[in-house]
Amino acid sequence: MDEIRKIWLHNPKMPLENYNKLFEGKQIEAVILGNDINKIHRAVDEGLRTFVCLHSFSAKPHFDNEEYLCRDIEGNSHIWFGSPCPNKAPVLERFISNIEKAASIDGVEGVFLDGCRFASPCSSEKAEAFLTCFCSDCCKKSEDLGFDMDIIKRDVKELYNLITGTDSNIAVEIKYIRSREDLYCVLPGLKEWIDFRTACVNGFLELARDTVKRCSEDKKLCMYSFFPAISPAVGQRYAEMREYVDIFSPMLYRRYDRPSGPACMDHEISRLVKLLSGNPYISPTEAIQIVQAITGLSLEGFNNAEDIKQGLKTVHVYEEAKRVIDEVDGRKVVPIIMADDPDIPGHFYQFSKLGLDTVNLF
């Protein structure tokens, strides 16, 4: 029942004829390329739908200077996923000008944003990088938007104490949560923190959409987005992002066999379980139950963080793709999966059940 008919390729590593052979009977329809003008022109000339992918917020010099970096609750600076704080005016100006340049290239159909978010659990080796940003610009912006920074700081600090094992009281409470709402009852500042992140990301996307559409109404704003189980934590809420984004490519990397894997489902979920079970009052089984309650992912059959890091199942990919489709209500969804996943047909089968006909390969 494999109805996948079209393949998109993110930065193809082989000549196209190899992909044609590999996916015989399917159409290689589109490529998503970096900002390499020769490759872009060649793809357009070959008649492929051509998109340009941008690293939304890059900490390349001079944006790796201290003044641009995210701050944790203690004021220490962090680079996460090669990014500085997205709320710095010069960082946002660069974001807009990069989008403008890419969208104005003749023949380019649209721009894919990567990393248009805040830090996730796996965006840095250090968990503290996830629990950001408390720089002066973010603090001011959150107050301006009506968020209560004192409560946010208090509860993000509680979360930090929880995962570093210095707080036993919160560990006892957190064991009994059965949903994300339960977590917000215990730590209401976390909801404010996530709402602030979401408001910022929606603002970035609004700017990005305006920029793309200024080049041409036909050009599209597209996005590499987080899997829904934890996308709210990085500031990405599909039901809100759908207002700005034409094409979503949710990153559904269920099995990434490398030491570090930001945005990969197995790595991110495994890291959450590991952080929680690092608290002496929380067992690995309890940690899995908590993560299951917060994320809505079904994790039966997994015993600990290491287990999860061996890879999730294609049924998890199905569940997450379904959540995206339900939440974006009519916007185009082209999930992206790892090109070297050992079970590509299994993914195609799961996506077919959802009525999808196109898959993007990383």
Integer CA distances (angstroms), 46 to 9, 15, 50, 331, in order: 14, 12, 10, 27
CB of 196 to Zn ion, least distance (A): 11
201 contacts Zn ion (rule: CB under 5 A): no
Q: Give the separation between CA 312 and CA 264, rounded to whole angstroms.
A: 10
The number of residues that bind Zn ion (CB under 5 A) is 5
**How big is the chain, counted in residues?**
362
CB of 123 to Zn ion, least distance (A): 14
CB of 83 to Zn ion, least distance (A): 11
CA quadruple 198, 166, 290, 173: dihedral, nearest 10? -100
Beta carbon nearer to Zn ion, 69 or 252: 69
Nearest to 161 by CA among 294, 263, 72: 72
Burial class (CB in 10 A: 0-12, 13-18, 19+), 137: middle
CB of 88 to Zn ion, least distance (A): 7
Query: Contact with Zn ion (CB under 5 A): which of 4, 116, 135, 241?
Result: 135
333 contacts Zn ion (rule: CB under 5 A): no
Beta carbon nearer to Zn ion, 79 or 133: 133
Beta carbon nearer to Zn ion, 143 or 357: 143
Name residues whose C-beta falls within 8 Å of residue 93's C-beta, 6 or more positions apart in sequence: none
Q: Is 344 helix (H, G, I), strand (E, B) or coil?
A: helix
Interacting positions 75-134 with Zn ion (CB under 5 A): 85, 87, 133
CB of 132 to Zn ion, least distance (A): 7
Beta carbon nearer to Zn ion, 64 or 246: 64
Beta carbon nearer to Zn ion, 50 or 120: 120
Q: How many CB atoms lie within 10 A of CB 21?
A: 9
Beta carbon nearer to Zn ion, 135 or 234: 135
Name residues whose C-beta falls within 8 Å of residue 61's C-beta, 6 or more positions apart in sequence: none
CB of 55 to Zn ion, least distance (A): 18
69 contacts Zn ion (rule: CB under 5 A): no
CB of 318 to Zn ion, least distance (A): 36
DSSP assigned state of 76: -
Beta carbon nearer to Zn ion, 84 or 311: 84
Question: Residues 56, 205: contact at Cβ < 8 Å?
Answer: no
Which positions lie near Zn ion, rule CB under 5 A?
85, 87, 133, 135, 138
